[in-house]
Structure 1
């Protein structure tokens, strides 16, 4: 009798609880949605193809978006240069392509990213923000519309600018350096900031018709914007924090931070096998600490080692302490942030992800492991014969529209 009961389908039916589904497709709608909300983008795509019921449930939620992707820009002479290719570290053998983003996009270059938004600059030096997935576009004020002591005008030749500083000195040409982008997904409130030819930092927010100049912010070394605060470091070691939570930005902190560029580079070359500093960056960690990161160059091995210093934490200047580990975090140097790293999101903890420029807006992405002190190319994109020399990190948002 016991053997017969094991093989009798009716006996299984009697033992099965009344509300237990016979197949995955019979799981309750609320339960499936709860599962979908916990999945990464890659697993979200796989799960929604299980059956028609799961596919229907997937339309009512979006995958979690805690993993940064790479957006890969084609070369200028590429035949299909109106779109971008997207790469997810969780799927090392798969690439995604965006829809056609338009002819102007093909003639623009990306200055910065935030979420799924790109800060773009076209050949006429007009700036705009565009969403990779929805194609929503926000035009920014003309770069010559400046509110402050530094004056700027566009000449009859639309590609030439004349700039007059506060002391009357004139410059020709424009340099948009240290770009910053932040935007709220729901309200579309935004902050865009950049340095104007080494003279001052300018910013624009939603509703502004011009760029507002921040006094005494010349010679910018680097800037990072996080949690309504702009962190500014000058080439001469002035470290400042501006709070953007009010109607006007207010300086809340100022101190001196060592910025050793050419002087330290000479010292290092004399005693460390031609090791020199090539860049100094600010990075804000997951916990809100501010790091100063020196990108070095060792000519003999042709590698880029890094030195990381903790300089600020919770309203206090930290001693210029050299740190050797990021713990469970990874650093995205170009974005000026750290992210938590684990075995499932594709990031390697205690590592620095950085780009190397080979010309205007042309980058390769590398990984430097602080523990092993080794540098390697992030990914060779073996799944495609097409080369993508321009790449930037972004945090995708898959909100339904």
Structure 2
């Protein structure tokens, strides 16, 4: 079909445009509606494809970035070149990313829209300052009585981050951390710098240390080294407000069969928190093993997951630290845990490279679902589940 000669594709008759939009895939529908204002208005009146299906952001070793829809078993190229980015976290269609110059961005994966964030060295309001000592290298200084003392060195590869974006009004919260540092940096929409959240100074003993964290809206939940939950409200203008309730998770112990211990050796142990759609944070204990026997296929990873009786009609996205309502029509499997890698939020294992294992674990059947198209197409250096709406 040729484009109309007068106003081009932007002036297609509404009935024809609606016909086209209704037959697009989820990813193509998102891209089409930002073509122009006319297409956007028509998309609002169109019954589009299933919304909210889990997608994967894939970063192959060969370079570039691709989107993968597990329900369609289909790959999509990203609209713009995102090959130079390291992805730290996501919220809907928005990703928190750091580029090769260690600049932080919020990126819309369905368009070319990017929001440049303050530089790391703008951190203020605490006991630490950050100096850039190279394009990709930083020095952390401890400030005492107005004097700065050199403390730690790190690079952008050591960064971990969380993101929340409100699609209705565009507000956002960004939280980042370096594993070796005992503080966080955060900013909100309109901020020109990051503010510091300390993990020790002026913090009660049971809440000290930062073992894991989850961001849900303006609420930041931190798991302390003593397994207490610290709850911070980031919505105010005066920084982070501590609204913690003294709540401690019970210590967990995993008793393993001796024969299993002989066949496998531990490679990582994790203590994490996850936040359901409603209610209090949950404690998640995981222990991963790799085969010690050469009889198994090389590269096979067997993961012993936390013993949970039932998630019911909900699904846990481990990377994101959230539990969401399941919906089979959207491809969100009930009573399941979605995995991609072992150190998305923190690198507790000390491994030089993460364990990429994209799968969905069903708690009821105790079975693991993988996606053959991923392993047969390319080798991944990174992968991340996300819920685009």
TM-score (norm 2): 0.72
Q: Which residue of 2 aligns with 1:190?
A: 172
CA contact (8 A) 2:341 2:383 kept: no
Cα 1:385/1:333, change in 2 over 3 Å: closer
For residues 351-395 of structure 1, the C-alpha deviation after alignment (integer angstroms, 9 at most, x for no partner) is 111123586467331222222333343x12179734445221122
The number of aligned residues is 331
Q: Which residue of 1 aligns with 2:38?
A: none
Q: Which has the larger radius of gyration?
A: 1
1:203 aligns with 2:186: yes
Q: Which residue of 1 aligns with 2:57?
A: 71
Q: Which residue of 2 aligns with 1:213?
A: 196
Q: Which residue of 1 aligns with 2:331?
A: 346
Structure 2: distance between partners of 1:57 and 1:137 = 25
Give 1:331 deviation, angstroms: 0.9
Structure 2, unpaired ranges of 5+: 1-13, 31-40, 201-207, 343-350
Q: Which residue of 2 aligns with 1:255?
A: 246
Cα 1:66/1:164, change in 2 over 3 Å: same
Structure 1: distance between partners of 2:69 and 2:315 = 16
TM-score (norm 1): 0.70
CA contact (8 A) 2:79 2:111 kept: no
CA contact (8 A) 1:293 1:306 kept: no
Structure 2: distance between partners of 1:353 and 1:388 = 17
Give 1:223 deviation, angstroms: 1.1
Q: Which residue of 1 aligns with 2:233?
A: 243
1:380 aligns with 2:372: yes
Q: Which segment drifts farther, 199-208 or 233-242?
A: 233-242
Structure 1: distance between partners of 2:99 and 2:137 = 14
Give 1:118 deviation, angstroms: 1.1
Q: 2:76 aligns with which of 96, 116, 119?
A: 96
Cα 1:384/1:100, change in 2 over 3 Å: farther
Q: Which residue of 1 aligns with 2:97?
A: 120
Structure 2: distance between partners of 1:232 and 1:338 = 16
Report 1:285-304 matches (<5 A): 285-300=276-291, 302-304=301-303
For residues 67-89 of structure 1, the C-alpha deviation after alignment (integer angstroms, 9 at most, x for no partner) is 221121222x43xx2xx322223
Structure 1: distance between partners of 2:374 and 2:130 = 47
CA RMSD of aligned residues (A): 3.7
CA contact (8 A) 1:330 1:351 kept: yes
CA contact (8 A) 1:334 1:355 kept: yes
